[in-house]
Amino acid sequence: MQSNDSITKKTSASTKHLPESKAGSQSDTVKPAHSRGKKFLSYYKPYMGLFFADIACALIVSATTLLLPLCAQYITKNILQGHDPHQLHDISLMGAFMLALVVVQALCTMFIDFQGHMMGARMQSDMRTELFEHYQKLSFSFYDEQKVGQLMTRLTDDTFWLSELFHHGPEDIVVTFLTATGAFLILAKINLVLTLLLFLFLPIMIVYAWHFNKKMNKALRSSKDRIGDINAQVEDTLAGIRVVRSFTNEESEKRKFAYANRRFLASRSDGYRSEAYFFGGLGVFAQLMTIAVIVLGGIAVVHAALDLADMLTYLLCVGILVDPIKKLINFGELYQEGITGFQRFMEVLEIEPNLQDAADARELAQVRGNIEFQAVSFRYKEGHRDVVKNLSLRIRAGDYIALVGPSGVGKTTLCSLIPRFYDVSAGKILLDGYDIRDVTLRSLRRNIGIVQQDVYLFAGTIAENIRYGKLDASEQEIIEAAKKAHAHDFIMELPDGYDSDIGQRGVKLSGGQKQRLSIARVFLKNPPVIIFDEATSALDNESEKAVKDSLEKLSDNRTMLVIAHRLSTIRNAQRILVLSESGISEQGTHEELITLNSAYANLYNMQAKI
């Protein structure tokens, strides 16, 4: 067997892009990405009413924008040059009409800015929820290969830019198309030749934008990966801050952070350079269009091909035409930020968990606790050696089984296969006669309680952490569970008792106290199958004895598997299995194995001398 007693592993694959790190039989698979466009549009579906209202307001804003220069043309050409006897009255009416247009435009713009942004925020919330729920489904093998900071970046930063694209994208496209089309028609009506000359700039602008657009996309993707690296480094350092300080390795952590920070800075430098060329160049083209109108329009006025009133209207329309160009530029930025975020978002969402319920999976009910391993083999990845090889084992309901052996022989791995944290590579595991792959994961794990060697407590109160074993538990049930785990006394000594805040990962508690709270959670869950992975490893002798007595009481009519290094805690086990690299080398009661005077006896005698 390999040294895989500790399930959680960090590998160099965590720095790769997600699809590349999914090799191996135990890894999650990646779905084809052919339906991403359809998936992108699907997020609009719950908000179609708001979406159409937003687009309608965008249309009104475009229409009012085009009407204002036409109103100016009407005043200068029809009223001022038309010898209108009611000039002041008509100018006042037209002014009032233009003011009304401005009011309508302002109201629609405010609607777009508020409700449009809220639509994008709701869609972002939906995506975050979907991705978070997907994270919950992915198997342990996925998390063995990934960094938490990178996964957090995909959940937060990437979805933010997506919300901006969801809102501004369609709106900017509609406004740009309608305003540019309307402005072109107005300009063409005033002077077709000048308009055609003006629009010769567009093909050049498109080629220029396309070239730097590709560079921006590459740079933005790189910067998103680098900010994920920074988040991963910060999360790793802060989570282990006590280890960092105990080894006085602050400078080492600073160097690692500086390296990640420099890589991010380099990626942003490339991105900002491309953005500068992209936006600066397009801005120059917009200004060149205005200069061309002034110069060519002035020549047309000199040659009487254009009068001053039309020249004024023309300049106003060109000013309007610059606005959709700016929106197009803004859309280019949003598109690059949003689409790279969407690609990273979908990379995770397209990973299908390798551990899923079968189509005809049944719900487990009235579980007794009979467990059987039938020729089970397991390896973490293809090409690796088997951690468990051709192991057969039968555990009757209510049996109290202990697993012992040196580190690295697969004790924890063996127990991780029962709740199906990983799937067997060969053979099968039965629970009450049912292959665990043929029952729902939820019902399987609902009937199994686990106390892990690496205790994890959530930020919050003691009561909240114990209640995690049964979310609808009453206060009295929580107290009873704490008493069974011999945690009640130390809890009541705390200033706020069960309402005491324990800090991130329970940092305000001792190792033994954290272990007893994790045991209390399992007491509260009260499942028919219980797995204790070095559950008393962090306890002092007095606490160990108290918990040992509680475990033996809890083992009545329940299937109990205990992984133990302290052999004194499992002397009363009905059967002790001694694991070695070749499998189960010995099994029997404590007395039988001592009489055998082999591997178990050697381990026991060695500990007795300490």
In CATH terms, 29-352 corresponds, of 1.20.1560.10, 3.40.50.2300, 3.40.50.150, 1.20.200.10, to 1.20.1560.10
> Which residue, among 60, 52, 153, 140, has the nearest Cα to 106 in the 3D structure?
60
d(CA 363, CA 389): 29
Helical residues (DSSP H) of 350-457, grouped into ranges: 411-417, 441-446
Give the global pTM: 0.71
Domain edges within the chain: 29-352, 398-409+447-609
- Specify the pLDDT at position 88: 80
> How does strand 559-563 pair with strand 400-404?
parallel
Range 103-106, long-range pairs (CB < 8 A, 24+ positions): 104/60, 104/64, 105/60, 105/61, 105/64, 105/65
Q: Name the DSSP class of 17.
A: -
Give the chain's residues under pLDDT 50: 1-17, 19-25
> Which residue, among 419, 406, 385, 374, has the nearest Cα to 522 in the 3D structure?
419
- Specify the pLDDT at position 20: 40
Q: Which residues pair with 584 in a beta bridge?
A: 579
**Can you read off the two tokens belonging to residue 241?**
């801050």
484, 554 in Cβ contact below 8 A? yes
- Give the Cβ contact number of residue 88 at 10 Å: 9
Amino acid in position 300: A
* Cα-based distances in Å from 467 to 516, 517, 519: 14, 10, 12
Could you identify the residue written with the tokens 């606490």?
Answer: 543
- Specify the pLDDT at position 536: 63
240, 232 in Cβ contact below 8 A? no
Model confidence over 167-207: pLDDT tens digits?
888 888 888 888 888 888 888 888 888 888 877 877 887 78
Those residues whose C-beta lies under 8 Å from the C-beta of residue 302, and which sit 6 or more positions away, are none
Helical residues (DSSP H) of 475-563, grouped into ranges: 475-484, 488-492, 511-525, 541-554
370, 397 in Cβ contact below 8 A? yes
- Specify the pLDDT at position 21: 38
> How does strand 575-580 pair with strand 583-588?
antiparallel
Ramachandran region, residue 304 (left: φ > 0; alpha: ψ -120 to 50; beta: rest): left
In CATH terms, 398-409+447-609 corresponds, of 3.40.50.720, 1.10.600.10, 3.40.50.300, 1.20.120.1200, to 3.40.50.300
- Specify the pLDDT at position 5: 36
**Mean predicted lDDT score pLDDT of the chain:** 81
d(CA 30, CA 48): 30
d(CA 553, CA 555): 5
- Specify the pLDDT at position 19: 46
Helical residues (DSSP H) of 526-598, grouped into ranges: 541-554, 590-596
